[in-house]
Amino acid sequence: MTAVDAYRALRDDVAAVDRSDRGFVVVSGPDARSYLQNIVSQDLEPVEDGQGASSLLCHPQGKLDHLFRVLRVGDDYWLDVDPGRGAALFASLSRFKIRVKCDVEDRSRDSGSGDWGMASFIGPRAIDSWGRLVEHVEPPEVVHAHIPLAGGARLVRTEWAGIPGLDVVGPREAVERVLQEALAAGVVASGVEAFEPFRIASGVPVVGVDVDDGTIPQEAFLERDSVSFTKGCFLGQELVCRIDTRGHVNRYLRGVRVAGGDVPPRGAPLAKNGKDLGGVTSAAAVPGENRVVALAMVRREVAPPDDVTVRVDGRERSATVEELPLHLEMRLDGRVAIVTGAASGIGAATAGLFVAEGATVAVFDIDQVGAEATAARLSGAMGAGVDVTDSRAVDAAVQEVVDRHNRIDVLVHAAGVDVGEAWKQRVFDATVAQGAARAAGSEIPSLGLSETLDDDAWRRVVAVNLDGTFFCCRAVLSHMVRQRSGSIILMASNAAQLGIAGMPHYVASKAGVIGLTRALAREYAPVGIRVNAIAPGGVDTPMFRRHPEPVQRGAAGHSPLGRIASPDEIARVALFLASDDASYIVGDTVNVNGGTFIA
């Protein structure tokens, strides 16, 4: 079995993971419960035989020392911790054991004298499969509840971000017997290559990797399941409780999805607009999928979901900071997409987001160097220099994508031009002159623009914005018809809805895109192809930044939100329209303009 098979089993079926490298400590004796109750963060008084809990052992200053699960077995307490942490937990518990009647034993495999182990069975079918796979016993129904198995082991109910699981914990020989029986019965074995991305996506931190002795429990949300605020005293209680009632922390453990397949190293910095936001703590590629999942400790002002960059091998990669757990299913998993105009701006943001959501992306732009640079950042994408006004070049580029990937599922046509800097300045100057005349009560002059617009300027804008749009649609439609599926997203503009004086060529070209969207949608919806458009307002792109400065300020002021959009905000709408979430949306023009135009 491959790592791809194992990962899919963890996500969709059931897989077995040998986790005997964890640390195991047993606390026993008449004072075992009272001793632990006085120092750990969880309330153990109500925990009965056959039950368990998650708990912390903090430093007296309130920082994290150990994160562990504790199981009550008779009058004994079994604690298991992350790999390599057994000896440290044993030392901590032994250090605080003064004049109490209890024993602390290190049963970890790496202790020299320990012989315990653990096997985890994880997946949606873990519970239902247990009886027929291994022992004919009814698994526990409550998380941390456990029952005895042969050989002195315990069967413990677990959960991984909503996905059920079972752990077999105890003497290594008993654990190994159960593990081998499960594998013989057909359970897929998962190694670290599959389990690590699953752990990360589930939002489960490892002590010494994702959290350490400088971590406050609330920074990793450990107080949710591992701290009792009503039990009374425990080590580090003052800081932990003060933050809970009156304060806050300045950073949080978050999930990160990284575009492409390049894995950032531990400590790789996250940034946005040049500002440092934190760093990656662990990361792993998802087997068989062009994406990477990571955990990162980020500043509290980062409000998920937030688009950032992460440095990998000296280059910036697109990434998204999200709440944990990360969704394991990608919205464009396995799909092939073409994004035009993707050397920068909306197209580049869309290409990055699509790759992060599992798509294989072809990046087209008249700027071949820019297209290839975008593709290089996305890892696995292809970049091509394509002039969308040249229908033969468009057909050839689309055919190359089909030859490589055998299909095209999505077209996002973001290639476009505006009216040029010189014409923008003329529009601005003429508009200012009109305003001055109106304010002075003088005769209002004509802008004098449309009557002086020459044929070449008209044809250039219409050729790119309308002809190019049709050529790209025509090139992909035959392939989508053969598949009887596809999603086409075209880029209109709120200029077509508002009308902009002095820019008839741009307004007409974008109005044509809206009309083309409606015509194609009606023609091709019966064969499973959805065609829609996005009409952005002002967007912070290189094209927008070429407007005169007063025009840029005015665009932000026209929106009730008081700002323009980021390219990522438009890209997320394109993602929605490309995905199955928009399966009943056909022929629509989605306004993404911050309220500048409300239909």
Please tell me whether the peptide bond between 325 and the residue prior to it is cis, using omega within 30 degrees of 0.
yes
Residue 211's φ and ψ, nearest 5 degrees, are -135, 155
Long-range contacts of 374-378 (CB under 8 A, 24+ apart): 374/342, 374/343, 374/344, 374/347, 374/348, 375/351, 376/315, 377/259, 377/260, 377/315, 377/316, 377/317, 377/318, 377/352, 378/259, 378/260, 378/317, 378/318, 378/351, 378/352
Please tell me whether the peptide bond between 560 and the residue prior to it is cis, using omega within 30 degrees of 0.
no
Are the C-beta atoms of 292 and 258 separated by less than 8 Å?
A: yes
Residue 219's φ and ψ, nearest 5 degrees, are -65, -30
Letter string b/e over residues 403-417, b meaning 16 or more CB atoms within 10 A of that residue's CB: eeeebbbbbbbbbbb
Closest to 428 measured CA to CA, from 549, 591, 307, 538: 549
Closest to 125 measured CA to CA, from 160, 156, 165: 165
**Secondary structure of residue 82 in the 3-state scheme:** coil
**Secondary structure of residue 424 in the 3-state scheme:** helix
**Secondary structure of residue 162 in the 3-state scheme:** coil
Sequence-distant (≥ 6) Cβ neighbours of residue 595 within 8 angstroms: 559, 560, 561
Whether residue 252 lies in the annotated active site:
no
- What is the C-alpha to C-alpha distance for residues 305 and 320, in angstroms, rounded to an integer? 6
- The tokens for 214 are 């400088």
Question: How many residues in total does the chain contain?
Answer: 599
- What is the C-alpha to C-alpha distance for residues 9 and 193, in angstroms, rounded to an integer? 13
Tell me which of 35, 252, 506, 524 is the catalytic residue. 506
| Radius of gyration (C-alpha) of the chain in whole angstroms | 30
- The tokens for 29 are 């004796």
- The tokens for 480 are 């989508």
Q: For 267-347, where are the E strands, in sequence order?
A: 269-272, 275-285, 291-299, 306-312, 315-322, 336-340
Residues recognised as catalytic: 506
